[in-house]
Amino acid sequence: MRLNEVIYSDAKPVDGYGPGFFRIGGEVFEGPLVVTSTGVSSWGGYDDVEALLALKDLVDVIFVGTGAEIAHLPASLRTALDEAGIGAEPMSSPAACRTYNVLLSEGRRVALALIPV
């Protein structure tokens, strides 16, 4: 089997995570975050819909990391994203990080909204 090194260009992948934090591009961030190919910002959690709606023209899908376990998105968040035409895929935060990294390496227009584990 041939293995190829993953290239992320200028985008920073999620390197790791733990209780209350994420390590992105070698830097540690605490609390809920929004991560895109252009940077990292804090996120107010499920009630902070505006932070996700601001990504409308920048991404095709947002992977919503719901913490240690997968959970449904609150109906108000799901409705707002659907109405804006933004795809949202809830999954556990570890799975969201892995999926984001793979699609980021392919140059896809993806974002992460993360709740810490």
Tens of pLDDT, residue by residue over 28-65, are 999 999 999 999 999 999 999 999 999 999 999 999 99
pTM of the model: 0.90
Sign, CA torsion 117/95/55/72 = negative
What is the pLDDT at residue 3? 42
What is the pLDDT at residue 112? 97
Residue with more model confidence, 15 or 8: 15
Q: Cα(111)–Cα(108) distance, rounded to whole angstroms?
A: 9
Identify the band that residue 10 occupies on the pLDDT scale cut at 50, 70 and 90. Answer: confident
Spatial neighbors of 57 by CB under 8 A, at least 6 apart, are none
Say if residue 1's pLDDT is above 60: no
What is the pLDDT at residue 7? 57
Spatial neighbors of 21 by CB under 8 A, at least 6 apart, are 28, 29, 30, 31, 116
Spatial neighbors of 64 by CB under 8 A, at least 6 apart, are 73, 88, 89, 90, 91, 96, 112, 113, 114
Say if residue 9's pLDDT is above 80: no
What is the pLDDT at residue 98? 97
Tokens found for residue 46 = 């499920």
Tokens found for residue 105 = 């390496």
Identify the band that residue 11 occupies on the pLDDT scale cut at 50, 70 and 90. Answer: confident
